[in-house]
Structure 1
Amino acid sequence: MNPLDKDAFEELLNNCGDEPIRTPGAIQPHGVLLTLSEPDLRIVQISANVQELLGCAAQDMVGEPLQRLVGADYAQAIEKAAQQDNSLDGAELFFTLNGATFEGFVHRHQGVLVLELEVKDPAFQPRMVDGKPNNLGRMLQRLQRAKTLQALYEVSVQEIQQITGYDRVLIYRFEEEGHGQVIAEATSPDMEVFQGLFFPASDIPEQARELYRTNWLRIIPNADYQPVPLVPKLRPDTGQPLDLSFASLRSVSPIHCQYMKNMGVLSSMSISLLKGDKLWGLISCGNRQPLHVPHELRSACQTIGQVLSLQISAMEALEVSRQRDEKIETLALLNQAMIDSTENVFDGLAQQPQLLMALANAGGVAIIEDKQLHRYGNCPEPEEIRALHKWLQTSSQKVFSSHQLSLVYPPAAAFTQVASGVLAMSLPKPVDNGVLWFRPEVKENINWSGDPNKPLNLEDSDGGLRLRPRTSFEIWKVEMAGISTKWSHGDLFAANDLRRSALESDLARQVLREQRAVQARDDLVAVVSHDLRNPMTVISMLCGMMQKAFSSDGQHTSRRIATAIDTMQQATSRMNTLLEDLLDTSKIDAGRYTITPQPLAVAEMFEEANALLSPLALDKDIEISFHAEPQLKINADPERLFQVLSNLVGNAIKFTPRSGKIGVVAMASGDEIVFSVRDTGEGIPPEQLPYVFDRYWTVKEGNPSGTGLGLYITQGIVEAHGGRIEAQSEVGRGTEFRFTVPKV
C-alpha cells in the first residue's frame, strides 16, 4: 500500500467509527416501519416497502391517518398499546393485512412514536425437545443450576441454539484491552470452531459497542438484503434523519453485512451481556442460510441474556469476595508488622518480605523509604526501580497496576524477564516512598481469528476507495512477549487495603510524635517557669529594698540608680506576666486548660473590676463605665473571668486616646449572659481583624510591651466556660469585644 493509500485507509478507518449506524435512513425488508403523530396517529414517515407488503404507495400514505393503512380496529389496538408506559404491559399486537400476518411493536424515542409491523415467517418451525416445544421455565432452571461461570456459559449457548436453530451460538467476552475472546460455543458439526479464539477490537467499533450496551437484542434475518429507505428521508419536524436505535428493523452497516458473509453466515442475532451498566460481552448467533427467528423466541433468548448477565455479575462478585477473603489474614499480619515497627511503616513491611510477596503473588518486591531501597525476590536493578518509581509518581492513581508495563513505560522493555507486570502503592509523604510488586514475563501463544494487525483492507469501487472487511478467519498464532499474568481483583484490593493500613499507622505515628513533642514543650515551659519564678521574686524583693535606699528626689547619682531600679522592677513584672501567659498558652494548646466554675453575681464582679481598673483609665482622662442588668448570675471561675475582663479593659485603656470612652455592659440573652467591652479608640484595620485571637498577634504601634498572647488566652478562657468571643472594629471609631458565659 503506497503512502496515499495508507492515508486513505486511516481516514476511512476513522470514518467507520463515525458511520451513522443509529440513523441509517433505511430498514431491513422483513417489515414496515412508520412514525406517527400524536394524538391523531397520522403517518409522518413510512418505509418504501409498504407498497410490496401492504399494497399501498408510500407517498400516498404520508399525512394520512393510520386507520387508512391498517383499518379502524387495528388502529385502535395500536393507540391503546401506545398508551402503555411499558411495552410488556400491553397486549400482543397481531395483524392480518394483505394476506400476510404481522406482529406490531410500538416505542417512543426522541419525541417520535415508532410503529414496526414485522412479518411473521410461516415457514419457521420451533425446535422440539423430547417431542415438546422448549419451555422458558425449564431453560431458566438449567441456568440457575449451573455452579460455575463456565458451566453457565455452556448451558446458555446450548439452550439458545436448541430453541432457535442457529448453526453457531457463541459467547464473546470483551477484554480490558478492547479485543474479545470466544469463551463458549455451540456449533453444528460441520461448522468452523471459534472456541478460545481472540478477535481484534476493530471487528466491533466503539459506537457499535455503545449501541449494544443500550439495546439488548439485534437481529439480521438475511445479510443479503437491500435496505428499504424511509419516505420522506428526513423527519419533517426537525429536518434530521430518524434515530432508529431501538427499532428491531433498523438497517445495519453494509460493512457488517459483508463481514458476516466473509464468516460464512447470512443470518445473525446478537444478545448483549451487561455487567452493571457496562458491556461485558455478547451472545452471538449465526446461520449459513437466512433465518428469521420470531419475536417470541427472541424474547426468550433476551431473557436468557438478562439472566446470564445477572448471574455473571453475582458469580464474579462472589469470586471477588473469595479473593479478598484469601488476603485478610496476610493483611492483618502485615498491618501488625507496621504497628510494631520502631522506625516507620515501610521498615515494618521490610521485616516481612515473604508475606509481602505472597500478598500479591509476586515474584519480587521493592520497598522505598527516602534513601533506603529494599529488594526481595526477582527485581530490576536499583537504578531501574528508582527511575520507575519516579515515573509512577507522575500518575494520579493511588494504586497503579499493569500486566504489560513496557506498553506504558518503554524503559521497562529492558527488564521484562523479571518485571513485565508491576503493582505499586505509595503514601502522601514529603520523601520518596512506596511498595512495588513485580511479576515476570509469561510467554504464551495466543490464537487469533485472522491477523489482528490487519483486520481491514481497501478495495476499489464505483464510488472510489472503501473499506472491505477482512476475509480471513484462519487461526493466527501470535507469541505474546512482555506480558505477565494479570493482577486480580484480590491483588488490587490487597494493595489498596495495605495502603489504607499504612496511612492509618503512619498517621498514628505522626500524632504520637506530635503529642510527645507537645508534652515535652509543656514540661519544658513548666520547669522553666517554676525555676525562673523564684529568682524573679527575689529580684523583685531586692528592687523594693533598694527603692527605699535611693530616692528619686535625691542627688543625680541617686536619681539614676532609682530610675534603673524602676526599670528592673518593670522588667521583672513583665517577665512574671510572660511566664504566666506561657503556662496558660501551653495548657490551652494541649486541651488541658481547666476552670473551677461557681455561681457568681455579675454586679459584684463589675464593682471589683471598676475599683481596680478605673484608676488606670483616670490617668488618661478616659471615661469608663460598668453596667449590668439586675440580678444577673453566671456559672464561672471568678479569677479566670476577671482575667478576661482585665485583659479586654486593659487593652481598651491602652489603645484609647486621652478623653476617650470605654463601656462595659452585661445583659441576658436566652441561656447566656453577653458581655461587651466597647471603646472609642483607633480601631483595628479590617485586614488584621480576623487574626486578633491568634497566638502572638499584637498591634506593634503603641504596644511595645505586648506579648501577643493576651487575646489568645482570653479566647481559651471563654471557650473553657462553654462560651464564644468575637471582635468588631471600625478604624477611627473604636472596637467592641463581645463574649458569652452560660447563666446559672
Structure 2
Amino acid sequence: MKPDDFEELLANCADEPIRIPGAIQPHGVLLTLSEPDLHIIQVSANVGTLFGHAPEALLGQPLHTLIGAEQAKSVQAVAERGTFFDAPALHVTFNGAQFEGLLHRHQDVLVLEFEPRLADFKPRVLNGRTDDLGKMLQRLQSAKTLQALYEISVSEIQAITGYDRVLIYRFEEEGHGQVIAEASSPSMELFNGLFFPASDIPEQARELYRTNWLRIIPNAAYEPVPLLPKLHPDTGKPLDLSFATLRSVSPIHCQYMQNMGVLSSMSISLMKGDTLWGLISCGNREPLLVPNDLRITCQTIGQVLSLQISAMEALDLSRQREEKVEALALLDRAMKASEQNVFDGLAQQPHVLMDLTLSGGVAIIEDKQLHCYGNCPQPEQIRALHTWLQASGEPVFSSHNLTSVYPPAAEFQPVASGVLAMSLPKPVDNGVLWFRPEVKENINWSGDPNKPLNLESSDAGLRLRPRTSFEIWKVEMAGISTKWSHGDRFAANDLRRSALENDLARQVLREQQAVRARDDLVAVVSHDLRNPMTVISMLCGMMQKAFSSEGPHTSRRISSAIDTMQQAAGRMNVLLEDLLDTSKIEAGRYVVKPVTLDVSQMFEEAYALLAPLAMEKGIELSFNTEQSLQINGDPERLFQVLSNLIGNAIKFTPRQGSIDVSAVSNGEDILFKVHDSGEGIAPEQLPHVFDRYWTQTENNPTGSGLGLYITQGIVQAHGGWIQAKSEVGQGSEFSFTVPKAKEQSPT
C-alpha cells in the first residue's frame, strides 16, 4: 500500500464523527426536550425495551406523559435554574427497574438521559479503603512527590470502583503517551512504563477529552442504539453528544479495548490549565457500570490531581530556576566586565556555561570569532548549524533529537545529538550553542510504533482497524540526547535577556560617548573658528574704508569682493551658532536663563528690527498684544524665536502680502502666533518643518534647515510647545507658548 493511501486512511479516522454519532450506548435512554414547554422531540430507539413506551408515540408529547407531573416539574426547575451540577437526584421507575436522570444543555439543546440506578453497587476490590471523599482528598494532599501522588490516585480509584486496571497516561511533547502509574489486579498484563503511539488517541479524541472531564463505556461489545429522528428537528443537523454520558463511541475504539482484553472502561481527563496533560484510564475484563455518584467522586479526584500536578510541577520548575540563579549572576558579571562585547565576556567562563545546562560542549560566536569548549562539532559544522538556526527565526532553540529537524546533524551525532542555542538581534553572527552527546537507550513500546494501525477489507474498501498486539516492542533510539529541562531552557532565555540588556547598555554608552565627542568637537570648532571669523570681519571693515564703491573700476571690484567676504563671514558665524545650539539641543543640555519680560516691549524691539525688511517687499507687518502681558523667558533666545519665525514669514510672503503677530493670555501660558499670507507649505512637508535640516527649497537658496529645529528647542526649553498650520496658497501660521511670569495670576 502506498504511504499516501495510508495517510489518507489515518485522516479519515481522525475525521470520524465522534461528537455526532447519531446513537447511544444501550444501557440507558436519551431524550431531547423543547423549551420551555418540555416536549419530547428526540428519543433513543430503546425506550420501548427499557421503559415500555413506543418511541414514535412519545415524539411531540409532553415530558410528564413519560415520567409523571412531579418529576417533570423537577426537570423544569433545574432547566430554568441552569445549574445542572448541583441539581437534586431525579429517580424514576420503569418496568420495575430504577433509573437515574441526568440533565444537561449543550448548543441550546436540553438533553435528558436515564441510566440504571445501582443503589447496591459494591466494588469487588476494596483493599480496606473507605470511599469517604474527604479522607481520599487528604491522602492525595499528603503526597510529597509527583510519583507518590500518581500512585495514591490510581489506588484510590481502583479501590472505590473495582476496575481491574487503573493507570495514569501522560502525553509527551512528541504526541505519544507513557504509562507513569498503574494499579492492576494480579491477573492483568502490566503496562506501567510502556509508551503508546500518538495514533492510538487521534487529535479530535484528545480535544473531546480536553472539553469533557469523564467518559464511560460499561460494555465495549454493545450494539449502538439510534436516535429518532436521526436529525434534530430544530436544527436539521445530527445531535452533538459531546457531553452526553450515553454517547456512542467509535467502533474502532471499542475493538481497541477488546484487543487489550477489557470490555469496560472509564477515562478521566488530567488538565494543566487549558492543556490536556494526560488521562486516568480505567479498564475491566468484564462489563462494569460505575454509578454516577462514584463517577463524580472519580472526576473530583481527577480535578484535584490536575491542580496538584500543576502546583507540584510549578514548585519543581521554581526549584530548577533557583538552581541556575548563581551561575547566571556570575555570567552577568562576566559580560559587564568584558571590555569588548558580551560574548567575549562569556568566553571567559566556559565551564560555568557548560555547568549551567549540564552540556558536554559549548560554542560562542561573535562575528568572525568562534570559541569552542568541551566536545563540539567541527567549526564549519557549527557555522552551518548556526546559519540554519538563524534562518529559523527562534531566539532560543532546543532539541534533544537534532537530526529529526536538521539532517546534517547526523555527521556529528555522537557529540551533538542535542542542541540548545540562543542569539541576539544584531547585524553580525552571534550566539551561544550548547551540545549534548547521543545517549543510546531502549524505549519499550506497546506494539510497533511505526505500524500502530492495521487495515482490513470491508464493503467500502480498506479501513483502519485497531492494533491487535500489545506485546512489548523495544526500539533502540539513535540520535537522541538527554532532554533539555525547563530549567535549561529558562537559563538560556535568562542569559539571552541579560546579554541583550548588557549589549544595549554598551550601545547606549558608545552612542553617548560619540555624542559627547561630537559636542566637544563642535564646541572646539565653533570656538576656534569664531575668532578667525571675527578677525576676517574686522579686516574686511578696514579694507572697505580703503576702497570706495564709488571710486575707479578696480576699486569698485575690490569693494564688492570685500562685501561678499563680509556676508560670507556673517553667514558662517550664524551657521556656527546654529550648529552649537543644535548640538546642545540633541544632547539635552540646552539651557535658557528666564527673567520677567514685557511682551509689548519685545514686540517693539522686534518691529524696529524687522519692519525695514518687510517694507522692502511692501509687506504689511502688524503686532497685537493684550495689555500688561508678562512672560518668564530668556530675552535673547525668545527674540531669536520671533526673529526666525517673522523672518521666514517675510521671506516666503509675496509682495503686498501681510504678516500678523499676536500674543494672548492662555491659562498659565502666553500664546504667540505668527500668521502670514504667503505661499504655504505642502501637506506632505508640514509634519517635517521642525526636523533638522528641513528647508523650503524654493525662494530659500541659503537656508541651512536648522532655524525651525532650534526654534522648537528654545520653546521646549522654556516648557512650552510649538506647532505649524499651513495651506498651500493661503499662508502659514506658527503658534508657540511661553509660561507667564510667576508673579502674574491667570486672567
The answer, yes or no, to whether TM exceeds 0.5 is yes
Instruction: Give the Cα–Cα distance (whole angstroms) in 2 for the partners of residues 15 and 74 of structure 1.
Output: 43
Tell me, yes or no, if structure 1 residue 25 matches structure 2 residue 22.
yes
The separation in 1 between residues aligned to 2:683 and 2:673, in whole angstroms, is 20
Deviations 1:369-419 (A, max 9, x none): 111111111111111111111111122322111111111111111111111
Structure 1 residue 56 corresponds to structure 2 residue 58? no
Verify: 1:289 aligned to 2:294, yes or no: no
Is 1:316 matched up with 2:324? no
- Name the counterpart of 1:431: 428
Match of 1:263 in 2: 260
1:512 aligns with 2:509: yes
- Within 2, Cα distance between the matches of 1:17 and 1:396? 32
Deviates more, 1:218-227 or 1:724-733: 724-733
Q: For the Cα contact (< 8 Å) 2:127–2:159, is it kept in 1?
A: no
* Residue 669 of structure 1 pairs with residue 666 of structure 2: yes
8 A Cα contact 1:403 1:421, kept in partner: yes
- In the alignment, which residue of structure 2 is the partner of 1:408? 405
> How much does 1:455 deviate?
1.3
Contact residue 129 and residue 159 of structure 2 kept, 8 A: no
Match in the other structure for 2:572: 575
Match of 1:368 in 2: 365
- Offset of 1:12 from its aligned partner? 2.2
- 1:486-508 C-alpha deviation (Å, 9 max, x unpaired): 11111111111111111110110
Contact in 1 for aligned 2:364/2:370 (Cα 8 Å): yes
Aligned counterpart, 1:381: 378
Where does residue 103 of structure 1 map in the other structure? 100
Query: Cα RMSD over matched residues?
Result: 1.3
* Structure 1 partner of 2:610: 613
Matches for 1:8-47 after TM superposition, within 5 Å: 8-47=5-44
Give the C-alpha shift of residue 97 in structure 1: 2.3
2:154 maps to 157
AA matched with 1:734? G
Secondary structure at the counterpart of residue 533 of structure 1: helix
Match of 1:230, SS state, is strand
Distance 1:131 1:220 in 2: 27
For the residues of structure 1 that align with 2:204 and 2:308, how far apart are their CA atoms?
26
Cα–Cα, structure 1 residues 550 and 130, in superposed 2: closer, same or farther, change >3 Å? closer
- What secondary structure, in the 3-state scheme, does the structure 1 residue paired with 2:35 have? coil
Residues 182-331 of structure 1 mapped to structure 2, 5 A cutoff: 182-331=179-328
Kept after mapping to 1: 8 A contact 2:169/2:278: yes
| Alignment CA distance shift 1:271-1:477 (3 Å) | same
CA contact (8 A) 2:662 2:674 kept: yes
Aligned to 2:390: 393
Amino acid of the structure 1 residue aligned with 2:363: A
Instruction: Provide the residue aligned with 1:337 in structure 2.
Output: 334
Taking the TM superposition and a 5 Å limit, the aligned residue runs for 1:103-182 are 103-121=100-118, 124-126=121-123, 133-182=130-179
1:310-709 equivalences under 5 Å are: 310-709=307-706
Residue 131 of structure 1 deviates from its aligned partner by 6.9
Shift of 1:463: 4.4
Quote how far apart the aligned CAs of 1:466 are. 2.4
Q: CA deviation at 1:75?
A: 1.1
Which portions of structure 1, spanning 4 or more consecutive aligned residues, are displaced by more than 6 angstroms? none
Which amino acid in structure 2 is aligned with residue 677 of structure 1? Answer: V
SS at 1:73's partner residue?
helix
CA offsets 1:42-78 (integer angstroms, 9 cap, x no match): 0000000100110001111110111111111111121
- Distance in 2 (alpha carbons) for counterparts of 1:249 and 1:664: 86
The 2-side partners of 1:637 and 1:220 are apart by: 88
Q: What amino acid is aligned across from residue 31 of structure 1 in structure 2?
A: G
**Alpha-carbon deviation of 1:718?**
0.5
SS for the counterpart of 2:102 is strand
1:713 corresponds to which residue? Answer: 710
Q: What is the one-letter code of the residue matched to 2:332?
A: N
8 Å CA contact 2:30–2:111 kept in 1: the answer is yes
Aligned residues: 741
Relative to the length of structure 2, the TM-score reads 0.98
CA distance in 2, matches of 1:71, 1:603: 97
What's the CA shift string for 1:90-115, capped at 9, x where partnerless?
A: 21112222211111111100110000
For structure 1, the residue ranges without an aligned partner over 5 or more in a row are: none
Deviation string, structure 1 residues 340-367 (Cα, Å, up to 9, x no partner): 1000011111111111111111111111
* Structure 1 residues 123 and 227: CA distance shift in structure 2, 3 A: farther
> Using the alignment, how far apart are the partners of 2:349 and 2:623 within structure 1?
71
| Contact 1:124 1:292 (8 Å CA) reproduced | no
Counterpart residue type for residue 336 of structure 1: R
2:745 equivalent in structure 1: none
TM-score w.r.t. the length of structure 1 is 0.98
| Aligned equivalent of 2:744 | none
- 1:657 Cα deviation after fit: 2.2
Distance 1:473 1:689 in 2: 77
Instruction: Assess if the C-alpha contact under 8 Å between 1:127 and 1:134 holds in 2.
Output: no
CA distance in 1, matches of 2:120, 2:126: 19
CA shift for structure 1 position 238: 1.5
Contact 1:127/1:133 (<8 A) preserved: no
Shift of 1:137: 1.0
- What SS does the aligned partner of 1:429 have? coil
* Structure 2 CA distance for aligned equivalents of residues 128 and 380 of structure 1: 57
Name which of structure 1's ranges 698-707 and 451-460 shifts more when overlaid on structure 2.
698-707
Separation in structure 2 between the aligned mates of residue 501 and residue 122 of structure 1, nearest angstrom? 64
- Tell me the CA shift for residue 7 of structure 1: 5.4
| 8 Å contact from structure 1 (residues 9, 467) kept in 2 | no
Q: Look up the SS of the partner of 1:394 in the other structure.
A: helix
Residue 451 of structure 1 and its aligned partner are, at CA, apart by 0.8
The Cα shift of 1:614 comes to 1.0
Query: Any idea what SS the aligned residue of 2:20 has?
Result: coil
Output the CA distance in 2 between the equivalents of 1:158 and 1:166.
10
Query: What amino acid does structure 2 have at the position aligned with 1:173?
Result: R
Task: Compute the displacement of 1:190 (Å).
Answer: 1.1
| Letter of the 1:430 counterpart | P
- Aligned to 2:244, the other structure's residue is in SS state coil
Q: Give, in whole Å, the separation in 2 of the partners of 1:133 and 1:596.
A: 87
Separation in structure 2 between the aligned mates of residue 272 and residue 129 of structure 1, nearest angstrom: 23
The Cα of 1:672 is off from its aligned counterpart by: 1.6
Shift of 1:135: 1.1
The share of aligned pairs that are identical, in percent, is 76
Displacement after TM superposition at 1:129 (Å) = 5.3
